[in-house]
Structure 1
């Protein structure tokens, strides 16, 4: 093939090669709950946790119980673990130094809607406000080493308000852990929140990656 024709062929094939490469395995899992208009993304190599085992671990209920059935009806939840041996227990950093992300949406009852404050959102996962931390200490929960790293108000509009709060706690089996909580409440009676957890060292080393996951958590109430 003459050199001019060879150059032309290579020029035509290069965009095709790029297109085929882009059609390979995506870099992310794009997670969505279309019904509640909730979206986020995690790296494609992370492992999804079985929802029943996740709910069972978080709510201390038998997955086949009537209570679990009620929770399933009003709650959507999903979790991804970067550990090679994924487990719901890693949400609290027990036995894993790898990142873990958990997201959930729940319909609020009418009485609950009147009780959701910004401080309530901050305390959704672990005690963050001074009052909540004092209560936890009085009850002997064993939580220690609290450090507040970030506390921001989120105002996406359209009847949605929220907070992003990042803090450290020392877990009994996992050392110092960083928890990055993003939480929203909507005027139509929904509670949305995501927690990204990693050891404090891991969080520093992978800050850009973990920030991107937290910032991808999107709620649209329109």
Structure 2
């Protein structure tokens, strides 16, 4: 009889073991830049990308000027790739069907502070406003199939103002790509920026997951 008393607890623990293991694995990786008080989350299974290759892809490390060097030294950038073989190039890879998220915080120059606007924030990554798209087309750099899916002005307070835009373009490799971009400027002259890129099919299938990333992007000025 004494031996039988311990059968149920042992069986119960055996059944609960997979559940306990699952509970121990976090669903998200919480990304923070403590110095600039910037936070967001990404699924824990996504792969972090080194800052240097990201800067090369985005173009912030191309120039050799002292001003560019100074900006790069005071810029925080981070990327996460959901692809099995992660690469910084997937941020702009028009053939990728997996999501990629990129975040950047940088100071604005005195000249940029004087001209920064909500439309400039919309056009940070690709042309979104009609004026910017027209200029790109006249210069032979236009992309086909533009579609604006969301355009929201953000007023979180604390000296911040910004936008969230979601839009799509057709690319030459055949995959239609969708971009979910959030950008803020602060009264003290800093730019905070997050963009998620994924194929249009990916956005349709994983919209809730990607929206959770975008809405988690928080700046405490």
Common topology (TM > 0.5): yes
Task: Label 1:64 to 1:48 Cα distance change in 2 as closer, same or farther (>3 A).
Answer: farther
> Which residue pairs with 1:183 in the alignment?
183
Name the TM-score, length of structure 1 as normaliser. Answer: 0.87
- Cα distance in 1, alignment partners of residues 8 and 216 from structure 2: 41
TM-aligned CA deviation for residue 134 of structure 1: 0.1
- Cα distance in 2, alignment partners of residues 199 and 97 from structure 1: 5
1:144 counterpart SS class: coil
1:45 counterpart SS class: coil
> Which residue pairs with 1:219 in the alignment?
219
Which runs of structure 2 are paired with 1:191-202 in the superposition (5 Å)?
191-202=191-202
TM-aligned CA deviation for residue 58 of structure 1: 1.4
Name the TM-score, length of structure 2 as normaliser. Answer: 0.87
Q: Is 2:162–2:184's contact at 8 Å kept on the other side of the alignment?
A: yes
Name stretches of at least 5 consecutive residues in structure 2 with no aligned partner: none
Deviation string 1:32-71 (CA, Å, 9 cap, x unpaired) is: 0000000000011111111111111211746999776434
TM-aligned CA deviation for residue 25 of structure 1: 3.0
2:85 paired with 1:74 = no
Alpha-carbon RMSD across the aligned residues, in angstroms, is 2.8
> Which residue pairs with 2:170 in the alignment?
170
> Which residue pairs with 2:160 in the alignment?
160
Q: Is 1:168–1:177's contact at 8 Å kept on the other side of the alignment?
A: yes
Name stretches of at least 5 consecutive residues in structure 1 with no aligned partner: none
2:137 paired with 1:137 = yes
> Which residue pairs with 1:208 in the alignment?
208
TM-aligned CA deviation for residue 113 of structure 1: 1.2
Q: Is 2:71–2:107's contact at 8 Å kept on the other side of the alignment?
A: no
TM-aligned CA deviation for residue 21 of structure 1: 4.2
1:36 counterpart SS class: coil
> Which residue pairs with 2:49 in the alignment?
49
Q: Is 1:176–1:199's contact at 8 Å kept on the other side of the alignment?
A: yes
1:114 counterpart SS class: helix
- Cα distance in 2, alignment partners of residues 145 and 41 from structure 1: 30
- Cα distance in 1, alignment partners of residues 148 and 97 from structure 2: 20
Number of corresponding residues: 219
Deviation string 1:105-158 (CA, Å, 9 cap, x unpaired) is: 011122211211111111111100000000000111141110000001111101
